[in-house]
Structure 1
Amino acid sequence: MTNDSYLSTNKSTDSLRRQPSQKRGQERVEKILEAAAAVFDEMGYEAATTHQIASKAGTAVGSLYQFFPDKASIFNTMELRHTERVKAMWAQTDVEAIVSLPLRQMIDLLVKAISQLFENPVSRVMFIQFYTNRQVFQSIDEGMTQEAINFLASILKQRNPLLNDLQLSLIAEVCVHSSNAVILSALRNPDLQRRQLLAKEIEDLLVAYLEPYVRDAVGDNLNNVMKVMICPHCYSKQISKNGQRRGKQCYLCKDCRKQFVKSS
């Protein structure tokens, strides 16, 4: 699965002043980016300097300037590298295969893929900085979050075609935003065991939330999956049947007290 809304991978070096032509130069650039991730993580973007980044990378600041004109260009290159990794993660996800898996196993695979993504220090820092210092970003915006929501909604649609577009959008949005909140907490925690436990909690959270919508009944057993009604006025799930009108089932929302007819 590709993601056309992301920047193409051949733009990943746009912020570089000079393209490294040899392996040694490429390794130096990667070392600078990893050092920048450590400095931004420790100092924050505003307080970080190119001298600190060069020192962390074990190179002269003049060598850093051969590739990057300033701190902003380093940060932007990190953004683009993270975007590439996210694109690769989605592209490597075999949607057809995971849709047919039991719900917990499907969620486990998705959570593990995301955990592996954030083992990379650049991706880890990009995620944290996006939620703590968003104004410095040039390439990444809320579009990346929306792509994750759309991706999950497409998976849920295949598991339960009875869900309408509004339901799919709301369910996927809750999953992504709640997961991101826990991921942020985990990535900022220096305790590896704590991070691993939080990842497991994300899995449990998603399974518990999704079970009413996309249980393990798939394919020919879709009739066994609960179809959850949502009020089109206030999006509440507190719905009760309220007679019929012209042969169609009517419902009453217990929260906003408005009535609506079941859509076809």
Structure 2
Amino acid sequence: MTAARVHPSAIVADGAILGAGVRIGPYCIIGPNVVLGDNVELVSHAVVEGRTTIGAGTRIFPFASVGHQPQDLKFHGEDSRLEIGERCTIRESVTINPGTEGGGMLTRIGNDCLIMANAHVAHDAILGNNVIMANYVGIAGHVHVGDNVIFGGTCVVHQFTRIGAHAFIGAQSMIDGDVIPYGMAVGNRAVLTGLNLVGLKRSKFQREAIYQLRAAYRQIFVGEGTLAERVETTAKSFEGDVLVQDVVDFIQTASDRPILLPRNGHESE
């Protein structure tokens, strides 16, 4: 096992746990309740505080602030946590806050995520695996993001919003409603603009599966009747189709935010 390498100018508090092969560069600060997994690297000038656990192979770039107390006036020093998965890349000046008592006491970021410069992940947010956040993306408190979601630059996401797996959020969008799995949302305020077809193809979903998903999308968002009626009909029409049922279950799950809809009821794929 390779011992951790700590630059002489870095400060590592007593109690911090450093895995094998950890590299801590110049002027970094590590708090006493931090756990760094094997081969984690802090390039320089990064600060990791609070009850924060960072998974193996994650890299944190200069001036990132990870684990400092949430930007929430209801926070009163409770021992909440932040968990960051393995092989993540956290770029310059990113800020990530731990959870609060009002939100489950935990902020969690999955494996293999890329969080680009100046992005923010607020308290009690839950991000899945393989999430990409471009520069200046802001994720508010209590947001849930599924696996393989991509955010274009300077997006902002309203608190308590859900973003389904494999969704794509266009640059400069303001997301104030739930985005269905495999969906694409763009605008300020954002609307649903169809399915994330490019993402589906890149993820190697079968052509027939995408065809079925498109047919279900039209039935849900363009057909006659109320949204609830159309969703129920779609659930029966596509019984056994895993992708379609992902969308159906997402819409039927109770949420604090409304579901984003296409403008004027028409898709624009």
TM-score with structure 1 length normalisation? Answer: 0.25
Structure with the larger helix share: 1
TM-score with structure 2 length normalisation? Answer: 0.25
Structure with the larger strand share: 2
More relative contact order in 1 or in 2 (CA 8 Å, sep 6+)? 1
Work out which of the two has the higher radius of gyration on C-alpha atoms and give 1 or 2. 1
